[in-house]
Structure 1
């Protein structure tokens, strides 16, 4: 019995030595360099955020986010994250609802002046409904971009669009490599 305990104890010591010897100097150096790269992030969380965007005292849009995190990393690239999604309502000159954008997640990168909407993104206005998984708004170019999505028009036309682009008001759309289904009015036999 004593011999068996001694054997188990000896095996345990040999295993410990093998484990410790496998940690070379290179691994320890990597740990030191990784720990030197400390990243400090400060975050401010707000709940039930309702923001109104106006220009020349006219309301252009209203945005609502259940949660808004304002994040300030040490590198200075500030951003605002909406982890529970966002809904933006656009208004025309007469303050009538002109369209909406909703998504399950959004991030506004202040330095780059872009906003990225992700997960179940839906754009609705009188001309179309656009469904995608990612939509990017470039404030400098005053345009929206998406790698791909589905456009549905009021007449029932459905277009699968690649490289979707539209101005801020979605008055026109541009895309490549599209395919879909459309409806033509009138008698085609004549």
Structure 2
């Protein structure tokens, strides 16, 4: 294992990730189920996630503050089959992931128990350390434990780093959602 790879040791209630950050220095992160007491920090991170999207495309995305008004992580902490995991480094939450398990029903497809990754975020200075990968793996473990056979997520086509990351996590294209700007024809 080279010095740039992270090592994930377990998927018990806590997952420890150790990352070699320089020749002599290791940084350690713990992935654990989020708690109600962490809600303010988690919502701040959710706001930061949506603010990053908004800053890149303000005509498309709501501001972080407006997005958090519509999405509250508290819902994931109390609803059955909903999950929130936090990445913690030196007693600071540096990332999180939210997801849920549900029965996918479709007029065309067989019903199936699936997991859905709804949000994932890592603070910019903690990126490329294996934290997001560990968060995804931890959530996938919960999906499997709750009977899911597939994991789904939505990602914007212009978000090339996310597309690359998810491809490295073995996600593949499933459906395409197309859009067209409508204009009045004279």
TM-score of the two chains, using structure 2 as the length reference: 0.28
Bigger CA radius of gyration: 1
Higher strand share: 1
Higher helix share: 2
TM-score of the two chains, using structure 1 as the length reference: 0.27
Question: Taking CA–CA contacts closer than 8 Å with sequence separation of 6 or more, which of the two structures ends up with the larger relative contact order?
Answer: 2
